[in-house]
Amino acid sequence: MRVAGLLTAKALANVKAAIKPGVTTLELDQIAEKTIREGGGIPNFQLVPGYFHTICASINSEVVHGIPSNKVLQAGDLISIDCGAEVDGWNGDSAFSMVVPGLENDLTAQRQKQSDVCEGSVWAGIAALSKAKRLNEVGAAIEEFILDRGNYGILEQYVGHGIGRSMHEDPAVFNYKVRDQGPKIEPGLCIAIEPMTTSGDQRTFVDSDDWTVVTKDGGDGAHWEHSVAFHDKGIWVLTAIDGGLEGLKPFGVTPVPLS
């Protein structure tokens, strides 16, 4: 899974480097697919029935599951890219958001802050996993981090998941506090933690393409995700090049490499 996670991270890094005004999301999709296939992997999004692309590309009010197309990116857009790779039957899954460079105003500052808060909440959740006894402590940590930093909506209908031989497995990983404590955390657990936030109300609808999730009030969406392994010596972020060292540093957590 570490190999699949690193290949996923490489694909996302190549996509991120290509994001600029004038680029289409279909071009970004092609970059991700080329990276994964040249690295000996399979784009696991293409293994989902009815989906034919390597990434999901969601812009502004599109929160998640946006389909790559000939739509051209504009300076100041808030774009979220979700991607996964399968290598030798094992899966990686990760996502990031960013503001398309080239424009600075109040709106782009708000979008950057929303992305930063969403990213920080992923690391808050991962840090909580390192010390938690029950899985739903992760969601409580994510919610607390987000709400302490603004009046953002947290999608409730879409949550994280287990990951391994399949991209989506049990258990569900909530991004908010729930009454039930959830399953006990034990070595061998691998999960994808992926909070999705909105700049306003968290209610969404699925667009006419049957995939793209859009905010009902037209607010912006942000989405960050990492695949994480919990093992007998600690945690390791499978989709981070450094295993999560920099992201976890503010939380006083040091990831431990897989042996």
Spatial separation of the C-alpha atoms in residues 185 and 158, rounded to whole Å = 21
- ω before 171 within 30° of 0 (cis)? yes
Share of the chain above pLDDT 70, in %: 100
Spatial separation of the C-alpha atoms in residues 162 and 12, rounded to whole Å = 20
- Residue 217 has what pLDDT? 98
Per-residue burial over 67-86, b = 16 or more CB atoms within 10 Å of its CB, e = otherwise: bbeeeebeebbbbbbbbbbb
Averaged over 41-51, what is the pLDDT? 97
Confidence tier at 113 by pLDDT (50, 70, 90): very high
Question: Whole-number mean pLDDT of the chain?
Answer: 97
Q: For 115-130, how does the pLDDT look when each residue is reduced to its tens digit (9 = 90+)?
A: 999 999 999 999 999 9
For the cut 90, the answer to whether the pLDDT of residue 49 exceeds it is: yes
- Residue 257 has what pLDDT? 95
- Residue 11 has what pLDDT? 98
For the cut 90, the answer to whether the pLDDT of residue 259 exceeds it is: no
Give the pTM.
0.97
Helix, strand or coil, per DSSP, at residue 22: coil
For every residue of 52-121, DSSP letters joined together read --SEEEEETTEEE-PPP-SPBP-TT-EEEEEEEEEETTEEEEEEEEEEPSS--SHHHHHHHHHHHHHHHH
56, 149, 99, 228: CA torsion to nearest 10: -40
Q: What is the DSSP letter of 149?
A: T
Per-residue CA distances from 65 to 104, 145, 171 (Å): 27, 24, 20
Closest CA to 123 of 224, 231, 9: 224
Closest CA to 117 of 35, 198, 27, 60: 198
Q: For 10-43, how does the pLDDT look when each residue is reduced to its tens digit (9 = 90+)?
A: 999 999 999 999 999 999 999 999 999 999 999 9
| 21 phi, psi to nearest 5 deg | -60, 140
Q: For 152-165, how does the pLDDT look when each residue is reduced to its tens digit (9 = 90+)?
A: 999 999 999 999 99
Q: For 233-253, how does the pLDDT look when each residue is reduced to its tens digit (9 = 90+)?
A: 999 999 999 999 999 999 999
| 110 phi, psi to nearest 5 deg | -65, -40
Q: For 140-198, how does the pLDDT look when each residue is reduced to its tens digit (9 = 90+)?
A: 999 999 999 999 999 999 999 999 999 999 999 999 999 999 999 999 999 999 999 99
